[in-house]
Structure 1
Amino acid sequence: MLCGVRTKAFQSGRGPLSPGSRAGLGAAVGLLALVSAVEVADGRAANYIALMVAGPFLAAALASWRVVLGVGAAATVLGAAFALGERTVSLSTAVAVAGIALGTAMAAATAAVRERQAEQIAELSKLAAVAQQAVLRPLGPQVGMLSVAARYISSTATAEIGGDLYEAVDTPYGVRMIIGDVRGKGLDAVRLASIVLGSYRHVAYERADLRAVVADLDRAVARSVGDEDFVTAALVEERGGTLTIVNCGHPAPLLLRRGAVIPLEPPAPAPPLGFMPVVRPRVERLEPGDRLLLFTDGLGEARRDGEFFPTADRAWRLLGHGTVGDGLASLEAALVEWVHGRLDDDIALVLMEYRGSRTGLTAAVPSWEVGAAES
């Protein structure tokens, strides 16, 4: 009897069941089968049928309202069958059967509300992903003479949204990249990240000196945030094999060269954007095959059992092989394994590889010298 009701209720009209519906249905059917077995073993008196009302409520925790109605119909039919098996149907037995039907209606309503809320959350997650993609455009695979790959690792499975940002553009002053991290999370952080990136995509083409780019971005942030909000950022310029880095309170990029990993710390610390940073550039001469890892502080803060992920120790083994995209994939896999899939903060990663100067070009003057000459 139970199988017949289940076939009609659950295989009509709506295609395969979702994993949640299958789990809820399995648990509810198991409960009804257990109560039925106890009733059969107890004899003709229907002493336990009231327990069948738990079936639709159990299904409502995971399954759709249609599945809940099917479970409730099966429970009501079973309860009525056991009630009719008594010599004389008592008032308490009739009330129990009616209670199963009423409980089914309540459980189905609860499941409908839960489904509606789940759909709204799923829609918000999709919108969040779209917003994130609109802010963070895909990078690479090549920008100027650099091979470039980027990756955004969300700390939550439900919404890939946060304040980490990155961009790479090929300008008259060389390839320029930025990586940054907005204080906070959610839509406010995404709004500020979009402001920083919008300003950067304009001024990176207009300012010869990276320090002027920093000043413009600082003003854009100051106009858009409160007193306690800020954006850490590192700006990188590659021009004719010369690498110039300015850092505004951000983790230092890592230079990977011939098996060595070199943190490119700034000559002097500077506060984040929004606090009027005065930056001093660090200049390095690149060699063909050099790789540079830019990252946000979520990577430095990733830990398990109080032990932080050893980024510098494992960087060359993870990032020094294959394409830059392969390197970031290896880093992400190792990181997720290290934290057992539980990250406390979002992480943005950008990996670039210098392939060598364009033939026929003389060595370019880095932006900090251009700015000094113009002043």
Structure 2
Amino acid sequence: MRSSKGLSQLTLPGLPFVAMAAVAVVDVLAGRGLGFLPLLTLGPTFASVSGGMRRTAAVGVIALAICLPLAYYNGSLLTWQNNLTVLTIIAVTAASMLAARLRLRRERELADLRLVAEAAQRVLLRPVPRRAGDLRLALSYTSAAAEARIGGDLYEVVTTPAGVRLIIGDVQGKGLGAVETAAWVLGAFREAAYDEPDLGAVADRLEASLNRQLGKEMFVTAILAEVRAEEVVLLNCGHPAPLVLRRDGRVESLDPPEGALPLGLAALADSGRKTHGYPFGTYDQILFYTDGVIETRDGLGRFYPLADRLSVLSRPDPQAALDELRADLLVHAGGPLQDDAAMLLLRRQRS
């Protein structure tokens, strides 16, 4: 299925010529009593939307080249009405050239800004270890479509004396502000995961860091996890619940018994955050993900049915299995994603 972006890339360059040709045909068919030649200004106007200054100027010259013969055919050449039409085409062409120049400069600035943000994200989001004790890990991170703004998905896995701890989250908002927030959260987590005795204390450190550095205007949905012997402990902060694929093929959603507010909004809660433990045995798998996965829609507007597609994770290699799930997600979307999508897979092997 061809994307709307691809269609626009095909139609916009030809739109000025289609418009001018239509005006010429209508003017000839209407006869000498009606004058449609001022509508030739549509040519350079449309050209400024997709082309540069030179292309816009060339379309303006073509508009004049169409105007003068048609004015002669209509018997209006050198009349004040036609002279005004010629001056209008020249003025609109000049204005469209200026608009095209400003648009291209703005596009270059936005492209540079996007490259900076993407580079910052790559520095922040380090590769996760492929093995940690009896765990095998796999990661999939898919950036949003080129026209979408930079997102704030984040993840980290660390091995501490308390066990393997991880975070996956999504920052409210987009752009460099989201990247900055993700940087503070990840920096605080990398320190707190080693220092604090439990996930509740880690979350408190993250909350304090957010409030101190970024104020109360930003929040982060996140899940903190700690893998123990035959168990995984979760602290859900307003994030989509992870899914477990049991060794017998059953799929379970690890929904918290009670909801919790995202990081940055703890002051609004009546009580503190609570952790919850779940069985996590040999050959069980846990998939953590951000909302960009489950909010991906197909051409009919249907959300991606993640829970129904987890059977692909039965492949021996966790990374190959997760790559296959990502490919299935892209097929469902029918093109580039409109939001960043991160997936982190943990598989418990035999010790």
**Cα 1:53–1:349 shift into 2, 3 Å:** same
Match for residue 150 of structure 1? 139
Deviation at 1:294, TM superposition (A): 1.0
Select 1:253's aligned residue among 235, 239, 242: 242
Identical positions, percent? 37
Q: Is the 8 A contact 1:24 1:60 kept in 2?
A: no
Deviation at 1:229, TM superposition (A): 5.0
Q: Is the 8 A contact 2:41 2:92 kept in 1?
A: yes
Q: Is the 8 A contact 1:260 1:316 kept in 2?
A: no
1:251 is paired with a residue whose SS is coil
Amino acid at match of 1:282: G
Deviations 1:297-356 (A, max 9, x none): 4545567889764433x1432433353334334444544565677988654321122233
Distance 1:88 1:268 in 2: 80
Deviation at 1:121, TM superposition (A): 2.6
TM-score of the two chains, using structure 1 as the length reference: 0.72
Q: Is the 8 A contact 1:56 1:107 kept in 2?
A: yes
Residue 88 of structure 2 corresponds to residue 99 of structure 1: yes
Q: Is the 8 A contact 2:149 2:174 kept in 1?
A: no
Greater RCO between the two (CA within 8 Å, min separation 6)? 2
Residue 306 of structure 2 corresponds to residue 311 of structure 1: yes
1:137 is paired with a residue whose SS is coil
Match for residue 368 of structure 1? none
Amino acid at match of 1:194: A
Residue 61 of structure 2 corresponds to residue 73 of structure 1: yes
Deviation at 1:293, TM superposition (A): 0.5
Amino acid at match of 1:252: A
Amino acid at match of 1:263: S
Distance 1:267 1:318 in 2: 28
Aligned length: 337
Q: Is the 8 A contact 2:235 2:273 kept in 1?
A: no
**Cα 1:44–1:144 shift into 2, 3 Å:** same
Which structure: larger Rg? 1
**Cα 1:124–1:209 shift into 2, 3 Å:** same
**Cα 1:277–1:299 shift into 2, 3 Å:** farther
RMSD of aligned residue pairs (Cα, Å)? 3.9
Larger deviation, residues 161-170 vs 303-312? 303-312
1:237 is paired with a residue whose SS is strand
Map 1:91-240 → 2, pairs under 5 A? 91-153=80-142, 157-207=146-196, 209-227=198-216, 230-238=219-227
Distance 1:272 1:325 in 2: 29
Distance 1:228 1:189 in 2: 11
Match for residue 356 of structure 1? 350
Deviation at 1:235, TM superposition (A): 2.3
**Cα 1:307–1:293 shift into 2, 3 Å:** same
1:292 is paired with a residue whose SS is strand
Distance 2:275 2:9 in 1: 59
Residue 315 of structure 2 corresponds to residue 321 of structure 1: yes
Deviations 1:212-245 (A, max 9, x none): 4334333323434545754343222335x54432
Amino acid at match of 2:245: L
2:50 is paired with a residue whose SS is coil
**Cα 1:103–1:254 shift into 2, 3 Å:** closer
Map 1:13-52 → 2, pairs under 5 A? 23-37=11-25, 48-52=36-40
Unaligned runs of 5+ in 1: 1-17, 358-375
Q: Is the 8 A contact 2:293 2:304 kept in 1?
A: yes
Match for residue 274 of structure 2? 279
Larger deviation, residues 242-251 vs 252-261? 242-251
